[in-house]
């Protein structure tokens, strides 16, 4: 007679308890006053959040494979990575991964996690999909731009704020690479059903705080946590004790100019020294994006904009043109820019030269000379 698989049952119950905790926090956050314009969903996100409301009532079968329900966030679908899928996709992903590894001087690759139904092409025992490659590319751009230096110094526990973490993939990669950091994740509450469940599953022993009210985190307590889940409505009210880096990927481009300006003002008020952005410099639909269609002047209200050279092609491109090192260097020959040189200007990467493509930016706060 085979004994019952009690460990799996316990894991299932732990997962449901974690999800219930997240759901309770999301409901409390959703009841908060709306906050300023920066906290409001725009365009696509209003529809996407409405279509994903079923996640509030998700049962065990959905929660156990929650990663398969994140397609509306990044567009990456598990169906495209089925075992009988087109071999051309698998070959292209393997080739691009090899190119990115050639640019990596800091061992920054983090594969797709297998928990919660993770998926991808199996390469040397690791799962890899387009999200994996994008996060890897962002980490390489941050490294080359000097944005990861404060996470390595060890002078104090680094605090990183990600505005719009989506399902939590980049935050999970950062936590794997820099376990002694605090990640403050700012988003619309409903999206924490994905990111908070994912991250607390990957890091079950992490110390987590959910900011469900304006008094949720006392001063001096932020860096005691591994993850802080902060609803956008409270982002201007609750202030981390210090902030070393802010990150935004693929959501500034969908905001209005007023919203992006609001976030830049918030980061400047928090004395955040660096901002990493991966966004289209000009949104595909100017009416739905950042007003005048150029994010850089909005960043420049408080930050020096430094575009980081990486690949000749957007992260979405698995074709041959994506595999050229845009800096004109041999693959693997690039070194991170030291953070003591914030004024260094690099050739733009990650998009066409017409100013409308995806750009890796490491921006540095402007300080007045005393």
How much is the pLDDT for 312?
Answer: 83
Give the pLDDT mean for 47-63.
93
Tell me, yes or no, whether 370 lies in a domain: no
Minimal CA–CA distance to 366: which of 305, 302, 307, 306? 302
* Mean pLDDT of the chain, nearest integer: 86
Quick one: what percent of the chain has pLDDT higher than 70?
83
**Cα dihedral angle (368, 142, 291, 131), rounded to 10 degrees?**
-160
- CATH of residue 101's domain is 3.40.50.150
- Provide the sign of the torsion angle of the four alpha carbons 189, 26, 73, 51, taken in this order: negative
Q: Which residue has the higher pLDDT, 290 or 40?
A: 40
Per DSSP, helices labelled H in the chain are 6-30, 44-51, 60-63, 71-74, 87-103, 130-144, 149-153, 169-177, 192-202, 257-269, 296-299
pLDDT in tens, 219-257: 999 999 999 999 999 998 999 999 999 999 999 988 888
175 within domain boundaries? yes
Q: What is the pLDDT of residues 23-32, one digit of tens each?
A: 999 999 999 9
Residue with tokens 């092609």: 313
The pLDDT value recorded for residue 57 is 95
CA distances from 21 to 15, 26, 27, 115, 163 (A): 10, 9, 10, 18, 22
Render pLDDT for 203-212 as a digit per residue (tens, 0 to 9): 999 999 999 9
% the chain with pLDDT above 90: 69
Tell me, yes or no, whether 148 lies in a domain: yes
Residue at 111 is within a domain: yes
Compute how many other C-beta atoms are within 10 angstroms of the C-beta atom of residue 342: 19
Question: Does any domain span residue 1?
Answer: no
Give residue 122's region: left, alpha or beta (phi > 0; psi -120 to 50): beta
Q: Is residue 39 part of a domain?
A: yes
Measured from the Cβ of residue 326, the count of other Cβ atoms closer than 10 Å reads 20
- Residue 337 — very low, low, confident or very high, per pLDDT cuts 50/70/90? very low
Q: Please determine, for residue 348, whether its predicted confidence score (pLDDT) is greater than 70.
A: no
Backbone angles phi, psi at 145, to 5 degrees: -85, 0
Query: Structural domain of residue 232, as residue ranges?
Result: 7-365
Question: pLDDT-derived band of residue 285, with 50, 70 and 90 as boundaries?
Answer: low
Cα separation of the two ends of the chain: 78
In a domain, 172, yes or no: yes
Mean pLDDT for 309-317 is: 86
284, 314 Cβ separation under 8 angstroms: no
**Residue 8 pLDDT:** 53
Reading the block at residue 310, the tokens are 């990486």
Judged by phi (left if over 0) then psi (alpha if -120 to 50, else beta), residue 279 lies in beta
pLDDT mean over 91-114 = 97
pLDDT for res 12: 82
d(CA 187, CA 265): 17
Number of residues that make up the chain: 370
**pLDDT value of residue 1:** 31
Establish if 2 belongs to a structural domain.
no
What was the pLDDT predicted at 37?
65
Going by C-alpha positions, the residue among 68, 70, 80 that lies closest to residue 114 is 68
- Mean pLDDT in residue range 5-31: 84
Give tens-digit pLDDT for 34-48: 776 667 787 778 888
In degrees and rounded to multiples of 5, residue 231 shows phi and psi of -65, 145
Instruction: Summarize the confidence of residues 194-217 as an average pLDDT.
Output: 96
Number of structural domains in the chain: 1
Q: Which of 67, 311, 253 is nearest to 169 (CA)?
A: 67
Asked whether the beta carbons of 222 and 228 are under 8 A apart, the reply is yes
Q: Model's pTM, two decimal places? A: 0.88
Burial class (CB in 10 A: 0-12, 13-18, 19+), 257: middle
Rounded Cα distance, 322 and 246, in Å: 26
Which is it for strands 121-123 and 126-128: parallel, antiparallel or unpaired? antiparallel
């Amino acid at each position: 007679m085979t004994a019952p698989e009690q460990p799996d049952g316990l894991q299932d119950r732990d997962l449901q308890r974690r999800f219930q905790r997240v759901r309770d926090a999301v409901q409390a956050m959703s009841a908060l006053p709306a906050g300023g314009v920066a906290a409001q969903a725009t365009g696509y996100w209003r529809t996407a959040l409405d279509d994903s409301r079923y996640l509030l009532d998700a049962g065990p079968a959905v929660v156990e494979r929650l990663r398969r329900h994140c397609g509306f966030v990044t567009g990456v679908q598990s169906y495209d990575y089925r075992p009988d899928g087109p071999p051309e996709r698998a070959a292209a992903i393997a080739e691009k991964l090899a190119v990115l590894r050639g640019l990596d001087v800091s061992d920054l690759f983090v594969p797709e996690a297998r928990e919660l139904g993770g998926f991808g092409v199996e390469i040397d025992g690791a799962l890899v999909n387009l999200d994996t490659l994008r996060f890897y590319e962002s980490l390489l751009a941050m490294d080359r731009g000097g944005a990861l230096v404060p996470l390595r110094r060890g002078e104090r526990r680094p605090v990183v704020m990600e505005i719009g973490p989506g399902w939590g993939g980049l935050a999970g990669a950062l936590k794997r690479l820099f376990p002694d950091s605090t990640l403050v994740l700012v988003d619309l509450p409903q999206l924490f059903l994905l990111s908070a469940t994912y991250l607390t599953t990957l890091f079950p022993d992490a110390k987590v705080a959910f900011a469900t009210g304006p008094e949720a985190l006392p001063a001096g307590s932020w860096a005691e946590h591994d993850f802080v889940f902060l609803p956008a409505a409270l982002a201007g009210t609750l202030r981390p004790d210090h902030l070393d880096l802010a990150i935004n990927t693929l959501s500034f481009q969908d905001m209005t100019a007023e919203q992006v300006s609001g976030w830049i003002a918030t980061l400047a008020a928090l004395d955040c020294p660096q901002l990493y952005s991966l966004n289209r410099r000009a949104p595909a639909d100017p009416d739905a994006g950042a007003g005048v269609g150029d994010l850089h002047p909005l960043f420049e209200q408080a930050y020096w904009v430094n575009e980081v050279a990486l690949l000749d092609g957007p992260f979405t491109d698995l074709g041959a043109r994506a595999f050229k090192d845009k800096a004109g260097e041999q693959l693997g020959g690039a070194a991170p820019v030291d953070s003591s040189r914030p004024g260094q200007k690099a050739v733009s990467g990650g998009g066409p030269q017409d100013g409308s493509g995806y750009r890796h930016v490491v921006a540095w706060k402007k300080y007045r000379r005393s």
